[in-house]
Structure 1
């Protein structure tokens, strides 16, 4: 009886704390000074809590950002929903708020410096429970980015968390923070975490570089077609969004496209590498994107031929090529421009140009293994 009573008391306390949060506030204009002005997620009672109706989600293969972990959420006003699209970003209604909180787990065990953060893929200590928010004693919050669907289109609004981890403040001009990553082996890497300024968001989020109108990147069928551990149990994310009324027109998950998890060693190497390039590079390297003049197309639909870089010379020579002749040389990753640029953290050479200050070692290893597995050869014409 004591155990049941204790559990009931804990649930009542959690419910009582949750009711104290004001309803989500959609601001149809302007730039509120604090993240808490939106009431989407708030730091309360040791947890970064999700408000009522705020739905968390993950991607099959996420975008790499300096080994940061991410809490992604979607909220919509009552009575509206997004329209399913099998290939592109869903058509979200006015009033939608998509949030992405970037954070790092804190190192465990030995003494650490104030700027030390764990470089790990382990998320077991991050969350307060299934479908719940982040356990603040175990993580360090860096920034929360909002994508807000207003009448005239999407607006990106960045917020940076304060030192006390109590709220995040508007940072339209971006921010730079000196941090240190500590690996599981104890190896340390100092780097500058860069929060992009508001104008830089268009570099990745412009679906069409002609209009430069912003679009979300992650909420596509192929990225969301996966299970998530919600508070009431595991469920496919597309099915869950349909059930809660946030999505209409989606087929059964088995009939929807699905990208591979880049870390899933049971998935084919080709599927893992293509999923990695799709989410990290495809939003720019496509016929309408910011990198459309390169002739290099890296989204998931591109056939594995000249368009994806196989035996394709670069459109411009110089620092970014590393004196290599082709974007991808089948069987020879060290002779290929693509992994050369992924392996760099030097401005003017590195790709992507924004969004990271470190090299994603495991991601580079994946792309190199994939290129090594490709058949064929390139001919250099003099």
Structure 2
């Protein structure tokens, strides 16, 4: 009887101890844990950030940046990659990297158009590209004003205006169709994550970013030991890089645009496709223009499209994704054409 009482007391004390010990909650399962699942309703459920306000990415996320970045009305961006554990990018074909199922790309946009002027950075949207067995999926998340959470949009275009120190500005969150219009002409669907744009950028440790990424064992084949660069003098390399980064996503042989223009603005083919070349088809009907007239930017169709000086506003380039002229980019192209 005494033994039974002692056992009962021990069990009671153990139960009290267990009740008094806080039990850690089970970690929430996010998209990073199951990267081919349906895109969740909230950005917090993707696992991108450990702390959305501090913008601390999950340890499994790989931050990266690009040179020759796509102009987006001077708005800032942050870029992230996730690869499932043990998987690698097939980079044997330098023009066509193949991504494993479960790959996730994240890009967050910040409102900095028309100058920051001391205003805090504000997250506007995060775009997500997800590689499934059936192909790529696209999702766009709109951040709340506090920057604490973002919610998956229904895929339609969203426009809203901001009052900024230099005037009002209309920001456009793209529709799913607009996202596909830019990404589908790519052989691998992804824009920007390529050797020429990852190389030549200093990583946080001071090394070349492409080499640092390779050291993380994310590629099947080690990239070149030296940085990948566009040949030519600095001005020409910068101008060709700018056009490659801002225009080649549409103007390449894999795009339906190519069948009507024949224009290839990938850096390796740009000069032969533009200098002293008359456009095969052009809606304005002005056959006097050539794509690039050496020494004469004002007589170069490509320059006029970027500067938006043509009377037909439907011919502005790029046609989507921007509402303002990239004055710095236009000046770069003007200087390059003038130097030819």
Give the TM-score normalised by structure 1. 0.73
Matched, 1:119 2:115: yes
Give CA-to-partner distance per residue, 1:316-341, whole Å, 9 cap, x none.
2329x6x8622222111112221211
Seen in structure 2, the aligned counterparts of structure 1 residues 248 and 189 have a Cα distance that, compared at 3 Å, is farther
Cross-structure match for 2:274: 308
Match of 2:222 among 237, 250, 272: 250
Q: 1:258 to 1:156 in 2, by over 3 A?
A: farther
Residue 119 of structure 1 deviates from its aligned partner by 2.3
Given the alignment of the two structures, is residue 370 of structure 1 paired with residue 319 of structure 2, yes or no?
Answer: no
Distance 1:333 1:100, change over 3 A: same
Displacement, 1:90? 2.2
How far does residue 53 in structure 1 lie from its aligned partner after superposition? 1.4
Check if 1:291 corresponds to 2:257: yes
Deviation for aligned residue 1:66: 0.7
Alignment partner of 1:140 out of 108, 122, 131: 122
Distance 1:146-1:28 versus aligned 2 partners, 3 A rule: same
Q: Could you tell me how far 1:189 is from its partner in structure 2?
A: 4.6
Q: Tell me, what secondary structure is at the counterpart of 1:83? A: coil
Report what 1:48 is aligned to: 55
Tell me how far 1:367 sits from its aligned partner: 0.8
Of 103, 111, 117, 2:110 maps to 103
- Does the C-alpha gap of structure 1 residues 151 and 194 become closer, same or farther in structure 2, counting only changes over 3 Å? same
Q: Could you tell me how far 1:245 is from its partner in structure 2? A: 2.4
Do 2:110 and 2:121's aligned partners in 1 also have CA atoms closer than 8 Å? yes
SS class of match (2:111) = strand
Shift, 1:273, TM fit: 0.6
- C-alpha distance in structure 2 between counterparts of 1:253 and 1:205, whole Å: 29
Work out whether residues 94 and 149 of structure 1, in 8 Å CA contact, stay in contact via their aligned partners in 2.
yes
Alignment-derived partner of residue 235 in structure 1: 207
2:169 pairs, out of 191, 195, 211, with 191
Q: Tell me, yes or no, if structure 1 residue 83 matches structure 2 residue 122.
A: no
Q: Distance in 2 between matches of 1:329 and 1:85?
A: 37
1:267–1:101 distance in 2 versus 1, CA, 3 Å:
farther
Q: Which has the higher strand share?
A: 1
Contact map agreement 1:57 1:228 (CA 8 A) in 2: no
State which of 118, 140, 146 in structure 2 corresponds to 1:164.
146
Matched, 1:71 2:78: yes
The structure-2 alpha-carbon separation of the partners of 1:363 and 1:20, relative to structure 1 and needing over 3 Å to count, comes to farther
TM-score (norm 2): 0.82
* CA distance 1:324–1:57, change in 2 (3 Å): farther
Count matched residues.
310
Match of 1:206 among 172, 181, 184: 184
What is the CA RMSD across the aligned residues, in angstroms? Answer: 2.9
- Tell me the distance in 1 between the aligned counterparts of 2:100 and 2:33: 16
- SS of the residue corresponding to residue 36 of structure 1 reads helix
Name stretches of at least 5 consecutive residues in structure 1 with no aligned partner.
1-18, 106-116, 126-136, 183-187, 261-265, 375-382
